[in-house]
């Protein structure tokens, strides 16, 4: 939790510095693309995890086991 707070403060500091040092058009482009990258990153981490959060009744499901093995190899 402390780490998240420190990253948030760093992000705020970088944004405030960029606001002062760049023209509005440049900061706007930065903010747009930074948020696009943030959304893509969120989707990239959410899509594989949503499958792993759904529990099947007996705890063993062959297609799920195959996907879990693939995800473990990738990460």
Read off the pLDDT of each residue in 5-13 and give the average, rounded to a whole number. Answer: 94
The per-residue pLDDT for range 26-56, each reduced to its tens digit, is 999 999 999 999 999 888 877 777 666 666 6
CA-closest candidate to residue 71, choices 53, 57, 58? 53
Provide the pLDDT confidence category of residue 22 given band limits of 50, 70 and 90. very high
> Three-class SS of residue 23?
coil
CA-closest candidate to residue 31, choices 13, 20, 19? 19
Provide the pLDDT confidence category of residue 13 given band limits of 50, 70 and 90. very high
């Amino acid at each position: 939790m402390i780490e998240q707070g420190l990253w948030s403060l760093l992000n705020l500091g970088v944004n405030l510095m960029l606001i002062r040092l760049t023209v509005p058009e440049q900061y706007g482009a930065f903010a747009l693309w930074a948020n696009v990258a943030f959304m893509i990153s969120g989707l990239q981490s959410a899509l594989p995890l949503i499958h792993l959060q759904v529990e099947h009744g007996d705890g063993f499901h062959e297609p799920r086991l195959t996907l879990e093995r693939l995800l473990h190899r990738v990460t």
